[in-house]
Amino acid sequence: MRRRPTRRTPRSSAYDQDLTAEATRTSNRIGGLLTQFHPILKRVLGARLDHPAVTWLLERYGSPAALRKAGRRKLVEVIRPKAPRMAQRLIDEVFDALDEQTVVAPGTGTLDLVIPSLARSLAAVHEQRRALEAQIGQLLEAHPLSAVLTSIPGGAVRTAATLLITVGDGTSFPTAAHLTSYASLAPATKSSGTSIHGEHAPRGGNRQLKRAMCLSAFAALHDPASRTYYDRCRARGKTRTQALLRLARQRINVLFAMLRDGTFYQPRTPRLA
């Protein structure tokens, strides 16, 4: 009798999800404050809030006034060890934003207290995540399937850990279709009367596995074969989400074969269904 896959989430994985959610909430709070008081600066820093150099910068100079007082040259010097390649460009963009917005919104002075506090909290959460990832990585090294799972593009430590937690060695699933269904990535369409709406991923299944596969597919877009398949889906009229779901579904098929045969990833552009 085949062993049914467990749906329970080990504490380490659940803790990592909690940390991820906390980091997202804190980043959103920082971004919201910047949007309220200095939207142009938010435009520069918003997408970079998770970068250690930006977090460090906001810990010490959390307001437009503090950044301007520190000066362009000093900020480039202090941030360069943490971001050698983008230090000059980042600070130039920051000061361009400071010069562009000439209106000072009421209450901007409160950023000197609030932003550094939030930035410290964000840095602490990221440090906890890095420490946890290192611990998970050490545990994965001892697992015989670790090298197999991390060989696929986008197969980072967290993804491999989630796969081992939710899928194991894959023997609980007779076919790739069973695994796809378990991950809630099987294709489905919504219909109403004579109207048929676009395809979507059905609800249910193992949300942890589905999330890991979608994030892994997104991370794999730098891989030529994965990118080519994604672009072909887009060219056929699929939305970004639909194309990403299709890529995640194809990767499930590849992972199933890798687990079944114990083989490493071989780059090959999958065919469109």
pTM beyond 0.85, yes or no: no
| pLDDT above 80: residue 2 | no
Q: What is the C-alpha to C-alpha distance for residues 92 and 86, in angstroms, rounded to an integer?
A: 10
Q: 54 vs 130, which has greater pLDDT?
A: 54
SS3 of residue 239 by DSSP: coil
Q: Using 50, 70 and 90 to split pLDDT, how confident is the model at 159? A: confident
DSSP per residue over 56-69, as a string?
HHHHH--SHHHHHH
Domains of the chain: which residue ranges? 11-136, 144-261
SS3 of residue 103 by DSSP: coil
Q: What is the pLDDT of residue 271?
A: 64
Q: What is the pLDDT of residue 200?
A: 58
Q: What is the C-alpha to C-alpha distance for residues 129 and 134, in angstroms, rounded to an integer?
A: 9
Q: What is the pLDDT of residue 13?
A: 61
Q: What is the C-alpha to C-alpha distance for residues 167 and 114, in angstroms, rounded to an integer?
A: 43
Question: Per-residue pLDDT tens for 221-262?
Answer: 999 989 999 999 999 999 999 999 999 999 998 889 888 888
Q: Using 50, 70 and 90 to split pLDDT, how confident is the model at 130? A: confident
